[in-house]
Amino acid sequence: MDRFLFLTFDGLSTGAVYAAFALALVLIWRAARLVNFAQGAMAVATAYVGYAVVSVTGSYWLGLGAAVLAGLALGALVERVLMRFVGHANPLNDVIVALGLVLLIQAVLGIVFGNEYRPAAAPFDTDALTVGGIAAMSPYDLWVLGAVLVVVALLGLLFTRTPIGLRMRASAFAPEVSRLLGVNVGRMLTVGWALAAAVGALAGMLVVPTGLGLHPHAMDLVFVVAFTAAVVGGLDSPAGAVVGGLLVGLILSYVTGYLGPDTTPLAVLVLLLAVLLVRPGGLFSSVRARHV
Amino acid sequence: MTAILEVEALSSGYGPVPVLRDVTFSVPTGSIAAVLGANGAGKTTLLRTLSGLLRPTGGRVRYDGADLRGVRVEHLVRRGLAHVPEGRGIVAELTVEENLRLGGLWRRDRADARRAQDEVYQLFEPLARRRRHAGHQLSGGERQMLALGRALIARPRLLLLDEPSLGLAPRVTAQIMALLRRLCDSDGLTVLLVEQNVRSALSVADQGVVMSLGRVVTATPAAQLRDDVTLRHAYLGF
């Protein structure tokens, strides 16, 4: 029972990171109808920026801020100079260009920072607190969970309560009608990419200290898991991304805990396959009558 | 009377396929012009070219005395040109309220945007009852009211309407036509109306622009098209 509880807490905190990462994927999917396969590499790049600032200033918080700002800038840059010019008629074009971007980013990071693992310090203690004799979450886990929940809440407010959120949703659903109503749809797309990359940067900064270390390929498996989480929740649904992330985190935690860490990558793929077979739209997909 | 819209030798199309050829007509300020013609005559293409969704391949469009070439689509609504596209161009995923808010977001005069929104709710009572409903839950008539009402929030001077009567009950169509007439007479609105429903369009229009195979075959006073059997037979087939 203790072990089950421990695995549950552990699953929730890693799941929170997957949730943030899946949320980044969902943001771009909703804005541009493409899966950003470069999300992981972009997050690693911003984490390098973040930890460069940490090592210069000694402050994790300044580093976190720098990483998020770098994410905003990188997301806008990628959309403006690259993705805007990709022909979206064939979805494969987006995938190939994004994979090319992954290679580019990883090569540049390798050249600039080297290809070895760099330790990355966590701002809080990563040892689990014991509550009533049971190893529960560590302070760091709590920070991760809290940070992700706050970001999700802020994004929810942004999309439902602000004019720019309304513009972004309208642009995503009906670009032509939105233009006729005076919305600069191209700019909304840039904002969407910037926001998504900033959320990705946050996820990167949160996941790197959890034993992953900083490395150009640090996010490769995390990306696959987050993609699974986004598909589990439904690529269209921010709430689905969060639930999907936590769910996948829990499942993987149980699998790793009871069956051993070697089975984890396999479990991810089995889960992805199962969701695609049973409910391809994701758990939170809503069947909507779309007008023609 | 000055013309708010002057179309001169306009050509346009999709890729290499020309749809509009040498289209010329003008719409006097404060009047209603009905664009009539069979399926494939180029009526929708005409509206899409006027609002900049399609780039013209030749000719020009003058709106309020200024050439529209190079003006971005999203800036036209700021100049008072509103286009309600075919298929009741509402955002089905957003609520009625959000659709209406969206229509007024660009406006600097926030108070008047809110006032315009209240006016739409008064004008179209069913919308007021369904503020929180998503667009895809609305009936065809309600969608048309929403699309039209949302365009009115911009307080447009020229309204391009694509098939507002499509799939609507005759009573609702008549209401919408009467409303357009009223707005033209009282507020000086100008309407360019694309319609399959020739009778209802001619019942309110001042001018009929008859199109066939991408060309304007005649632009005549609507009364003439209504009353002259030979003209009707020749151009409209009834």
Cβ within 8 Å, pair B94-A169: yes
Q: Write the burial class of residue B198 (CB in 10 Å: 0-12 exposed, 13-18 middle, 19+ buried).
A: buried
Tell me whether residue A289 is in a domain. Answer: no
pLDDT value, residue A290 = 39
Q: Taking a C-beta distance cutoff of 8 angstroms, is the pair A34, A88 a contact?
A: yes
Residues of B in contact with A290 (CB under 8 A): 92, 136
Cβ within 8 Å, pair A183-B105: yes
Tens of pLDDT, residues A120-138: 888 888 887 777 777 778 8
Q: Which of the pair, B63 or B89, is modelled with greater confidence?
A: B63
Tell me whether residue A21 is in a domain. Answer: yes
Q: Please tell me the distance in Å from A98's CA to the nearest CA on chain B.
A: 29
The pLDDT of A204-224, averaged and rounded, is 87
Tens of pLDDT, residues B91-142: 999 999 999 999 999 988 889 999 999 999 998 989 999 999 999 999 888 8
Tell me whether residue A276 is in a domain. Answer: no
Q: What is the DSSP string of chain B?
A: --EEEEEEEEEEEETTEEEEEEEEEEEETT-EEEEE--TTSSHHHHHHHHTTSS--SEEEEEETTEE-TT--HHHHGGGTEEEE-TTT---TTSBHHHHHHHHHTT-S-HHHHHHHHHHHHHHSHHHHHTTTSBGGGS-HHHHHHHHHHHHHHT--SEEEEE-TTTT--HHHHHHHHHHHHHHHHHH--EEEEE-S-HHHHHHH-SEEEEEETTEEEEEEEHHHHHH-HHHHHHHH--
Residues of A in contact with B77 (CB under 8 A): 180-182
What domain range includes position A191? 10-218
* Eight-state DSSP code of residue A280: T
**Which residue among A184, A291, A292 places its CB closest to the CB of B74?**
A184
Q: What is the CA radius of gyration of chain A?
A: 19
Cβ within 8 Å, pair A170-B85: no
Q: Please tell me the distance in Å from B192's CA to the nearest CA on chain A.
A: 16
Query: CB-based contact (8 Å) between A173 and chain B?
Result: yes
**Which residue among B87, B98, B154 places its CB closest to the CB of A166?**
B98
Q: Please tell me the distance in Å from A30's CA to the nearest CA on chain B.
A: 12
Interface confidence: ipTM more than 0.85: yes
pLDDT value, residue A2 = 79
Tens of pLDDT, residues A137-185: 888 889 999 999 999 999 999 999 999 999 999 999 999 999 999 999 9
pLDDT value, residue A287 = 47
Q: Taking a C-beta distance cutoff of 8 angstroms, is the pair A239, A20 a contact?
A: no
pLDDT value, residue A291 = 35
Q: Please tell me the distance in Å from B89's CA to the nearest CA on chain A.
A: 6
The pLDDT of A193-210, averaged and rounded, is 93
Tell me whether residue A28 is in a domain. Answer: yes
Tell me whether residue A39 is in a domain. Answer: yes
Tell me whether residue A160 is in a domain. Answer: yes
Tell me whether residue A260 is in a domain. Answer: no
Tokens of A68: 């998020």
* C-alpha–C-alpha distance, residues A54 and A61, integer Å: 8
Give the range among A79-83, A232-236, B145-149 with minimum mean pLDDT.
Answer: A232-236
Residues 82-121 of A with CB under 8 A from B: none
Averaged pLDDT score across all residues of chain A:
89
**Which residue among A177, A182, A184 places its CB closest to the CB of B91?**
A177
Q: Is the pLDDT of residue A289 over 60?
A: no
Nearest Cα residue in chain A from B110? A163
Q: How many domains does chain A have?
A: 1
pLDDT value, residue A286 = 56
Tell me whether residue A1 is in a domain. Answer: no
Tens of pLDDT, residues A2-49: 788 888 988 998 899 999 999 999 999 988 888 999 999 999 999 999
Q: Is the pLDDT of residue A239 over 50?
A: yes
* C-alpha–C-alpha distance, residues A12 and B61, integer Å: 60
Residues 177-196 of A with CB under 8 A from B: 177-185
Structural domains of chain B in order of their starting residue, each with its CATH number: 3-90+158-236 (3.40.50.300)
Nearest Cα residue in chain B from A163? B105
Tens of pLDDT, residues B24-57: 999 999 999 999 988 888 999 999 999 999 999 9
Give the CA-trace dihedral at B195, B201, B207, B213, to 10 degrees.
30
Q: Taking a C-beta distance cutoff of 8 angstroms, is the pair B138, B96 a contact?
A: yes
* C-alpha–C-alpha distance, residues B176 and B180, integer Å: 6
- For A206, the 3-state DSSP assignment is helix
Contacts of residue A199, Cβ cutoff 8 Å, sequence gap at least 6: A20, A21, A23, A24, A27, A71, A151, A155
Q: Taking a C-beta distance cutoff of 8 angstroms, is the pair A239, A160 a contact?
A: no
* C-alpha–C-alpha distance, residues B122 and B107, integer Å: 21
Q: Please tell me the distance in Å from A176's CA to the nearest CA on chain B.
A: 8
Query: CB-based contact (8 Å) between A169 and chain B?
Result: yes
Backbone angles phi, psi at B192, to 5 degrees: -115, 115
